[in-house]
Amino acid sequence: MTAARGTSHRKLVFIAVLLLSAALLFCGFFSLLPPDGAAYALLSGSLPEGYYAAAGEDGDWYFSEEYLDIAGAGVILARLRAEYDFSELEPVVIAVIDTGVNTDAEIFGTGTDDDVFLRNAVGDIVGRNTVDNNADISDGATADSHGTHVTGILALLIRALGLTDCVKIMPVKAGEYVASLGGSGNSFDYNDVARAIDFALENGADVVNLSLGTDNAPITSRWKDIVSESDSEQAVFVAAAGNYANSSGFKPFYPAASENVIGVMNYEESEHGARLHYVEPSKGSNYGTLYDVCAPGTDIVSADGKTGGYKAMSGTSMASPAAAFAVALTALKCRLTGFDTSPDELREMFDLTFRDTMEYDGEEYPLLSVTGALEAEFARDASGNVYLASAADAEAAFSPDSLTLGGYGTLMLTADEDWLDTGAQYRWDYVSDGMSMTAYGSRVTIGIDVREPGEVQVVLSVYTPDGAELLARKQLNIPTEYFVPTAENSSLTLSMRADDDGTVTLSEGETLVLGVDTLRYASPDTETVWYVNGRESSREQSFEFDPAEDGVYTLFVTVNGVRIGDEVTVVAEGRGSARDRAAMIGGICGGAGGAALIAAAIAVAVHSARKKKAAAGGGNGE
């Protein structure tokens, strides 16, 4: 029995080992398959354990699908790596003009395969200190290590998506701590920043991040033009919009509000999605139409320049590098696909990568989309204008689902719902109340007057930016619905004016026509019932009331059992005795004799009426 028990035990162990091996093989096999973005935190990137300890096991809040969707971006990059050769790709270079950087912070991967810095032929970091005019790029912001934190955000995004081989950082120190300023005490001299821009451009920067600026009126005129048109033709400039909760219409912050710069506002997470960061008056993200895009910038975990570890900071300074990274992704996608572009054009293309908006103070602001930067496919028209190739596959949609007959309705028309703007031209043609109408734009709201039943046709035509080539044409057939009359939306109509007391006086020979103003647009099956003195009198849409006798009558109507309007009181006069007696006598006598009798009866009736009137009035009788 002992031997049998031992043999049985060995068999069980063997089976368990086989099952475990199969399970490991199964997991290993499926780990090689392309991951689902929703279930895969980071695709091929490499982030230190220290980062997860500081930010959480899934990374920072803005990594999630609801915001920048870093996992989704990783899935797209995996497809691109399978389709294109990254090995010969020239890196996209992002210059960070700030207070410098402490390169020994863990996130930068300095000296490892995960090194994020651009290096020259001898292995030195390509960077410059324009404050002291030397090569010392160490962070001069001794209070908060501003430049290290800003640069660290770029490093995080680069490493999270495994792009250390094709996106590199060029640190340029142009600011430092000045104790007398108070607060963080970081100061940027105009000339130091100008020299930093020159250095970045001379050394091949494709994108330049400026998490700095001013709204100080006496000096903003200089800062407004610190990025010249010539500079913007050599690189794309991205800048923080400032943190004073001011509108750009009230107090613009430069260089972010400059024409040659992409200005970046700061949003935070909320239960309803992205929300502009606001703390209190004079503390929160600046906003306004002079800025271009909103990006996550609140409680962002990044490098701590003092400890080499991690800390969270908030501000448009933290939002700006995220936008700069997305611009770099757009440039990377162009290089992979062989789509040659200039910096001017790259900025226009970046504006076409947005997919959603955030509302604040009555304005809609675009939200940064990392996946949009990677998924956008570009094309050019005959005039050289850039647009999204997906415009040729435009799908049109409308809301609400139908239009109601009988009035001026609002219709929202949308094309290319995946993108806020494709760069193409959109034309909508339709008919409103018999008139041909046209509206332009990928998202339009039109007023349309529908008077006849049947489908309303709206035709969408999509053209290249220059308008020369038709890319697509779609027809929408929008159903119409009959109007449903109710006491609230319908009124009683009368062919005669009522007296001040609401009474209609109906004299001899007059007919009162009543109706309901909305019935012409109601379904033919609508049940309309007219009542006279409480008794049903007609079921027609309109009712002609011509009483046979003098008297007071009460009229009302119901539509589908619901009373519409108030009761109408009608006083009928001049329709009584003399006429009725004459008609009766004429019917009895007939012929010429009858006519004579009728005439006599009328004469008697008239004489009698006059006599009564004279007696009542006290006048002389005949």
Coil/strand/helix, residue 377: coil
Say if strands 551-559 and 562-563 run parallel, antiparallel, or are unpaired: antiparallel
Which of 78, 75, 42 minimizes the C-alpha distance to 60?
A: 42
In angstroms, the CA 232 to CA 226 distance is 11
* Contacting residues for 236 by C-beta, under 8 A, at least 6 apart: 206, 207, 208, 262, 327, 331, 343, 346, 347, 350
Coil/strand/helix, residue 302: strand
332-337 CB contacts, 8 Å cutoff, 24+ apart: 332/89, 332/92, 332/163, 332/166, 332/167, 333/80, 333/373, 333/374, 333/376, 334/378, 335/89, 335/90, 335/92, 336/80, 336/84, 336/86, 336/89, 337/84, 337/377
Query: What is the rounded end-to-end Cα distance, in angstroms, of the chain?
Result: 150
Coil/strand/helix, residue 224: helix
Which of 473, 374, 462, 467 minimizes the C-alpha distance to 421?
A: 462
Phi, psi of 209 (to 5 degrees): -100, 130
Do the Cβ atoms of 170 and 203 come closer than 8 Å?
Answer: yes
In angstroms, the CA 334 to CA 421 distance is 18
Q: To the nearest 5 percent, what fractions of the chain are helix, strand and coil? A: 30, 30, 40
In angstroms, the CA 400 to CA 563 distance is 29
**Phi-psi category of residue 69: left, alpha or beta, with phi > 0 → left and psi -120 to 50 → alpha:** left
Do the Cβ atoms of 198 and 231 come closer than 8 Å?
Answer: no
* The pair of three-digit structure tokens given for residue 57, joined into one six-digit string: 């096991």
Residues identified as active-site: 98, 146, 317
